[in-house]
A and B are shown apart, each in its own frame.
Chain A
Amino acid sequence: MLTELLHGADTGGFLVIQDSTSCSGRHLLESFISAALNREEAVHVLGFDVSEEELTGGLKGSAIERLHFHNAYTDPLGWTDQPSLTLHQFCSEELSHLLKPTSHSKSTILVIDSLSWILRHVNPPAVCKTLHQLRKGGAVRAIIALLHADMHQRGTVGSVCHLASSVIKVAPGMKGDETVAKITKRSKSGKVVQDEEIFSIKEDLSVTVHSKRSQPGLKQTETEEQEADPTANLTFNLRLSDTEREAKEKLALPFVFSKEKKSALLHSGPGSGRILYEPDANDDYDQEDPDDDLDV
């Protein structure tokens, strides 16, 4: 599903990439930008979080000409004298004015890096309203936004994600460069599809999906159980064949008291030793209690 989203989000789509401090979603955002540029689409970036050099560092080739970086990084609040783009311009009229220069509005993609910066200064209802107007206004084909989910209250994150047509939550994977993406996609018919995929991003910003897990966690535990079979590689035999079982049942165990054993013990054969005891005259032998002298 991730590759599906990368290869052309549907028209009027709004994609949110949610990340946290433990796993940055910026690389995935850059992959989306690169994929859109490769599709010959014009990409407008509202850059709050990182500078233009940092964002476009991984992008190569002539496609960069179609990337329009609107610099809100150096001065988003108008502290210095020459702000190029400030937060106050984050309303649908101003933004559609910004996006006008590119004539093909059918293939314009707006990238917001990041929504967290805006949400920190503009109240959430206003942000949601602007996003909604942008989607319906027709100025852009799709919106892709990065959101640092752990910076905001859960309600704020929720209300933004309700607007979105697709949400990708990134989390660190098991191995080094792997990332887990939890994808929720709402189609226009109202159907909601959820999926979980493991992916990694190469240096040229191409995304490789390693495995698809429709039911997260379930498959993995199954394979783990199979691997953990303790009887798989034993050096000894756990089962008996029929002849072996017969032989085993024939064998008399040492603690079983059979008749032969009893008679052998009671009637000892000739040549064996025995104890003869003749009491001494001085012995105080009590007939009634022969064991009297034993101190028991």
Chain B
Amino acid sequence: MFTELNSILNTNPDSITPGEFILISDRQSDASFLIHHFLSFYLKARCKVCFLGLVQSFNHYHAVSQRLGVSLLQAKEKGQLVFLEGLSESLSVLIPQEDNAGSQAMDFLRDPAAGLKSLYEFVRSSLNSPDGAEDWGPPVLLVDDLSVLLSLGVSVGAVLDFSHYCRATVCSQLKGSMVMLTRCEGEEEEDEGDDEGSERLLKGLTHQCSLTLHVQGLPTGYCREIHGQVEVCWRRRPVAGQYTPKKLFQYKVHDKGASFFAPGTSSAVL
């Protein structure tokens, strides 16, 4: 959890805005440090978290979270965290073994044209089920990352349907929050004619979400002291007079956290 980012977004684990849909996107850069931030943030806020980890193994997320002061293993055991390990799940779908039936969540791998209804059912059931013993806070869905689904043969429309259903259930019905990461490969293109899938996905998700964090490399090229820039964009109706739709920050990722600063005010420059 990065406290600097919390103050930028005006939140802290004790007071979470309900119904937020935060979209993290990156272009020729890596925004996964933000996913780790939100994972530890919501676990510290005692939310019930459903994490769809499609790019890395559980051990990877666990190792990073431990550095940020949260144990995923414990959270999983307590029932606070529901983790879908995309890598091993998809393997059990592709190479079925008799003793391991695998969950229904990755059913779209068998027939990508059928859509992501099964994955949505998984999210809904894991966030809905009353877990008896402990009473957790508002539910949170985290996805790392959505563009992997495109590579697995799912169409852009199906991914947008999935995110729409998740938003309707998690944000509107259960008053929880949602954080999704999506990646864009190429340069920003002005030509609207032949949009790549990831570009269309980003646009569609941007129309749905309430806050975007767009991570880019520095336009001037590589720098050792500044790892890139984040554009924060609020898409909700402004609150009484405060009109700040966009802010730009530069960031540097440290071993156990990250620092954010206004462009040009890096400690290496000043």
Residues of A at the B interface (CB closer than 8 Å) are 21, 24, 27, 49, 51, 53-54, 57-58, 73-77, 79, 116-117, 120-121, 148, 150-151, 153-154, 176-177, 203
Contact = CB atoms under 8 A, between A and B. Distances in A.
B173 A148 contact: no
A116 B172 CA distance: 20
A24 B238 CA distance: 12
Given A27-B237, A51-B172, A120 B207 contact: no
B202 to A, nearest CB: 8
Contact of B168 (A57, A75, A150): A75
Nearest to A51: B172
Given A51-B168, A75-B168, 15 more contacts: A27-B237, A58-B237, A73-B172, A77-B161, A77-B165, A79-B165, A116-B207, A117-B164, A121-B157, A148-B204, A148-B207, A151-B204, A151-B207, A153-B192, A203-B240
A120 B160 contact: yes
A176 B206 CA distance: 20
Instruction: Give 7 closest A-B pairs by Cβ, nearest first.
Output: A51-B172, A21-B206, A176-B243, A177-B243, A74-B168, A148-B207, A21-B203
Contact of B235 (A24, A49, A74, A121): A24
Nearest to B160: A120
Interface in B199-218: 200, 203-204, 206-208
Nearest to A53: B172
B192 A154 contact: yes
Interface string B235-270: 101101001110000000000000000000000000
Chain A at the B interface: SS class: loop
B204 to A, nearest CB: 6
18 contacts: A21-B206, A51-B168, A51-B172, A54-B172, A58-B237, A73-B168, A75-B168, A79-B165, A117-B164, A120-B160, A148-B204, A151-B200, A151-B204, A153-B192, A154-B193, A176-B244, A177-B238, A177-B243
B157 A74 contact: no
B120 interface: yes
Interface of B: 117, 120, 157, 160-161, 164-165, 168-169, 172-173, 192-193, 200, 203-204, 206-208, 235, 237-238, 240, 243-245
A74 B172 contact: yes
Contacts of A58: 237
A183 to B, nearest CB: 21
A74 B168 CA distance: 5
Contact of B203 (A74, A76, A121, A151): A151
Contacts of A49: 207-208
Contacts of A121: 157
A39 to B, nearest CB: 23
A116 B165 CA distance: 16
B124 to A, nearest CB: 8
Contacts of B244: 176
Contacts of B200: 151
Contacts of B165: 75, 77, 79
A21 B207 contact: yes
A117 B238 CA distance: 25
A27 B235 CA distance: 11
B120 A79 contact: yes
A117 B168 CA distance: 14
